[in-house]
Structure 1
Amino acid sequence: MTSKTLIIGASGGIGNALVSRFADNGDEVIAVSRSGFKDSNWPDTVTAKAIAEHDEASISAFVEELKSQDVKLNNVVVTTGVLKDDDLGVNPEKRLEDMSESALASYFAVNSIIPALWLKHLVNIMDKSHATVVCLSARVGSISDNGFGGWYGYRASKAALNMLVKTASIEYKRRVKNAMLVCYHPGTVDTELSKPFQKNVAEKKLFTPAFTADQLFTHVSKLDRDQPCHFIDWDGEVVTW
């Protein structure tokens, strides 16, 4: 039976690679992006959908459209996230004085709230026989593994994402039965998000999007599905909450 997979943020480097990876597996893939699609050489089994705005009204309308088509999803990967964005006025803080109300609001809006809204609406169209939802998180969102400080907004918004996913996994397990939710740290990937910070990354630790997609696909498929939620990294190792 063909699996149905939804990739959210499919126009980004990791999202684009994930669409290709799941399509190569034989999945029917729905690729969603707010910014549209460019230079995506995907097979006919991929349906590309652009949503006008990444807000609850657009998310709800999109999920209702899928519901009206009787779509049941087996896999979802939410790749949306922001670390540095001049348009949003966000830049990783080095000290307390660098924090601002507007930047913190933007970090939480993109890194925490948007994935949470997807979790809210997607629960109604997940396949109860096999459902997996993966949200791209970050090791710096681990509260227990924080020895360097800084990056207040990014750390806090990813920690909030982890809590939202962990909490939602309990309800998903009850409502969807065979559901598993995953917070996934992809490592440092050669994408627009990481470009301003790549100079301090060892060559072997700067991953291609294709490698990242393959690692995610492989490691998530091996997880214990009796456990409703996992937090792992690109190498399949457990990250502490």
Structure 2
Amino acid sequence: MPSDAAASTTVPATALVIGASGGIGAALAAELERRGTAVTRLSRREDGLDVTDPDSVERVLGAVEGPFALILVAIGILAPEGQGPEKALDAIEADHMARVFAVNAIGPALVLRQLSRLLEPGGRCGVLSARVGSIGDNAMGGWYSYRASKTALNQIVHGAALEMKRQDKGAVLVALHPGTVETEFTAPYAGRHKMVSAEEAAKNLLQVMDNLDPAQSGGFYDWRGEEVPW
């Protein structure tokens, strides 16, 4: 899909944004509301949604009344609080790695368990991943926990999309790379990469979701709508 795809904005009537208190999640919710979508926001900060706790996921998402035309899952951590991504193998710590996997891979998997109830027929779901989760695009190494957790997430999304297609051929479920976005998450790395504002990233991602078709379900796409290698 070219980055200059026509701005054929399709406004979903309803949307659920999970992780709506974070930089990208908040921007996605705000942009959807600006477009006229009725948005339900969920987050740990505001709703006590702890995606690392299966009971919390069941309780909070179980209380949400769907279905929704669009679901966006915008949760993730770069490293445990007070830590940074590992630059070398000897920096790996098992409990730190387990925490990153719990939030970045297991958490979204627990959320996706609710998808058949929360997503309307023919609806769309985008899960925020990251290009560094691409094995084919990894030319630098390092960042072991974060990279591997996003790779695991991509596999979960791909498998869930295949399962979903057997029940709803018109639905779309994809992994999304938003680019390097100016948030608290990326503040320590400012200046190393070209960054975009959360607001711009939200507009880009929603344009991508607008232009995907069911044949692309299960894929991994960047903010321009271009496929990212696995």
- TM-score using structure 1 length: 0.86
1:29 pairs with 2:12:
no
Question: Deviating runs (4+, > 4 A) in structure 1?
Answer: none
- Counterpart selection for 1:82 from 63, 67, 77: 77
Q: Percent of aligned pairs with the same residue?
A: 40
Q: Assess if the C-alpha contact under 8 Å between 2:20 and 2:26 holds in 1.
A: yes
What amino acid sits opposite 1:57 in the alignment? D
What amino acid sits opposite 2:115 in the alignment? L
**Helix, strand or coil at the partner of 1:200:** coil
Give how far 1:28 is off. 1.1
Measure, in 2, the Cα distance between the counterparts of 1:108 and 1:85: 10
1:227 pairs with 2:216:
yes
Measure, in 1, the Cα distance between the counterparts of 2:223 and 2:216: 19
Give how far 1:24 is off. 1.7
**Helix, strand or coil at the partner of 1:199:** coil
Q: Assess if the C-alpha contact under 8 Å between 2:15 and 2:39 holds in 1.
A: yes
1:110 pairs with 2:103:
yes
Give how far 1:52 is off. 4.9
1:162 pairs with 2:160:
no
1:62 pairs with 2:60:
yes
For residue 46 of structure 1, what is the aligned residue in structure 2? Answer: none
Q: Assess if the C-alpha contact under 8 Å between 2:68 and 2:120 holds in 1.
A: yes
Measure, in 2, the Cα distance between the counterparts of 1:76 and 1:65: 16
Q: Assess if the C-alpha contact under 8 Å between 2:79 and 2:146 holds in 1.
A: no
Count of residue pairs the alignment pairs up: 219
- Please say which of residues 228-237 and 188-197 is displaced more in the overlay: 228-237
- Counterpart selection for 1:51 from 48, 51, 54: 48
What amino acid sits opposite 2:92 in the alignment? M
**Helix, strand or coil at the partner of 1:127:** strand
1:195 pairs with 2:180:
no
**Helix, strand or coil at the partner of 1:181:** strand
Measure, in 1, the Cα distance between the counterparts of 2:221 and 2:12: 26
**Helix, strand or coil at the partner of 2:114:** helix
| Aligned pairs for 1:113-192 within 5 A | 113-128=106-121, 130-192=122-184
For residue 4 of structure 2, what is the aligned residue in structure 1? Answer: none
- RMSD over aligned Cα, in angstroms? 1.6
**Helix, strand or coil at the partner of 1:238:** coil
Q: Assess if the C-alpha contact under 8 Å between 2:80 and 2:96 holds in 1.
A: no
Is there any run of 5+ residues in structure 1 with no aligned partner, and where? 37-49
What amino acid sits opposite 2:40 in the alignment? I
What amino acid sits opposite 2:179 in the alignment? G
Give how far 1:2 is off. 6.0
What amino acid sits opposite 1:35 in the alignment? R
1:93 pairs with 2:86:
yes
Is there any run of 5+ residues in structure 2 with no aligned partner, and where? 1-10
Give how far 1:164 is off. 0.2
